[in-house]
Structure formats: structure tokens, C-alpha cells
Amino acid sequence: RELQSAVQQQLRKDPAHRSGTDSGMHGKKRKPTEQATANISTTTPPPLKYYSALARQLQVLQHMTNVTDISFHKYLATDTNDDTNNQNAPADLTHLSVTCVDGNNRSHTWHAELHPSIVLTTDLPSEFILEDKLRLEKWWENEAEVPNAQREVNNNSGDSLPVLPRIHQLFEQALQNHQPLFEELDDLDSHLWILEPSLPARRCSVERRIALWEGGASMVIVLDPDNARGIP
């Protein structure tokens, strides 16, 4: 509900903000400098349709069974010397994180930059490949209404899911494929003396340096993500 409220507030605020940006300008227009042009191009806010589509897709994500958290991140100003502005910056509605749990209650998170196109960051032991038909650039355009979020989630084919819920569905499928690997790594971490990496390790890390005896030799093993129970 808090996320939906934030999106709705942005929808109400943007028309007033955008209409008011030109109202206080008088006199002749000056030609913008190159630096000003660059700043404008990098800080252009998303269109109103973006927020409408985002609100609908968040509604679907919130109804997905294994989702435990949906959050937005603060956008940090490019000027690193302006710490005050960074600390007081509001939550940005273009940097999304979605957390879920797998069948063994392990927590996993994927991150996405949503504007102007979707850029994903995942912590998986192999490349996360999306379907070619998924539209990542200007994904909010031609966005269909979502009259019943729960009905969309219950559609097993995933063909009618909007892009963000579909990404999450594919992410969960990837997690399911890697369950044997996660089980083997968790078994190593809980029963052996792991020197590297520091625990808890990232899910993409399939290498372990194991101490053979205190003050003695160590051994490095690397598990195959596609054959986790095979010979390392």
C-alpha cells in the first residue's frame, strides 16, 4: 500500500510540477550550454504513463506468492560533494528491488533500473536470460490494464503477465533450476572451514577455498552450476 501511495502521489504531483516549471520564466530564452543540455537529458523524469503502468504492475507483483519485499532506492546525485541533498533525497521510483524466497526459504533479490529502459542486476551463478519478446525499452507504452491482479498471477503460461511480474516469474524459474547447487553450497558452508569467500557468500559465487587443517594447506573447489552434484 505504501508503494502504491508513493506512485499515486507522483502521478498527482507531476502535472502541477511540469506545468509550473515554465510559468515563472520571463524574458528572452537563452541558449543552453552543453553541460546544461547534458543535465537535462540525464534527469528527464518519466512520463505520466510510466507511473500508471508501474502502479498496475506493482499490484500484480504484490500478489505473487513468494514475494516478501518490494522497495525503491534513493537516487544519489551525481555531485558526490552534495551529501545533504543525497541524504534528504526522496525514494526514487525508477530503481526497484524485489525480494522473494525459494522452496528452502532462502532469500533472493533482483534489482532493476526502470527508466528509460529496464536494466537488471541479479545474483545468480549463471547468466539470467530473458525472453526475446519482453519489451525492456519504454516498457510502459501500450501497457494493458490489469483489472484483476490475482487473476493475472494465476495465469500459468505467463503470456499475459506484464513485463515486471514476468521478469520475476522467470527469476523464480532460474532459482528453481539452481536449487541443487544452492543445497550443495549450503552444505559445504555449514560443515567445512571456508576460508574464501567470506560467508554468507553471494549466490553467484560457486568457488570455495576449504581449510584442510589449522595452519596447514587449503583446497579450492569450483562447483558446476549445471551439474552441482558432479565432480568439482
pLDDT for 163-190, tens place per residue?
999 999 999 999 999 999 999 999 999 9
Per the model's pLDDT, the better-predicted residue between 55 and 147 turns out to be: 55
C-beta of residue 161 within 8 angstroms of C-beta of residue 152: yes
> Which residue, chain included where needed, has cell 487473476?
151
Of the candidates 91, 108, 88, 16, the residue with the CA atom closest to the CA atom of residue 54: 91
Residue 48 CB neighbours (<10 A)? 14
Give residue 232's pLDDT.
Answer: 85
Phi-psi bin for 158: left (phi > 0), alpha (psi -120 to 50), beta?
left
Q: Give percent of the chain with pLDDT exceeding 90.
A: 59
Spatial CA neighbour of 89 closest among 72, 76, 71? 76
* Residue 167, all three cell numbers: 521478469
* pLDDT tens for each residue of 15-34: 555 554 444 444 444 444 44
d(CA 214, CA 217): 8
More confident residue, 207 or 13: 207
Q: Which three cell numbers stand for residue 160?
A: 499475459
User: What b/e sequence results for 36-47 when a residue is b if at least 16 CB atoms lie within 10 Å of its CB, and e otherwise?
Assistant: eeeeeeeeeebe
Secondary structure class of 196 (helix, strand, coil): strand
Residue 80: pLDDT over 60? no
DSSP assignment string, 51-94: HHHHHHHHHHHHTSTTEEEEEEEEPPPS-TT-HHHHHHPPEEEE
Q: Could you give the CA distance from residue 220 to residue 197 in angstroms, rounded to a whole number?
A: 11
Q: In the prediction, which pLDDT does 30 show?
A: 46
Amino acid sitting at position 120? L
Determine the pLDDT at residue 9: 64
User: What is d(CA 201, CA 128) in angstroms, rounded to the nearest whole number?
Assistant: 19
Residue 123 or 26, more confident = 123
Nearest residue to 3 via CA among 130, 159, 114: 114
144 CB neighbour count, 10 Å cutoff: 10
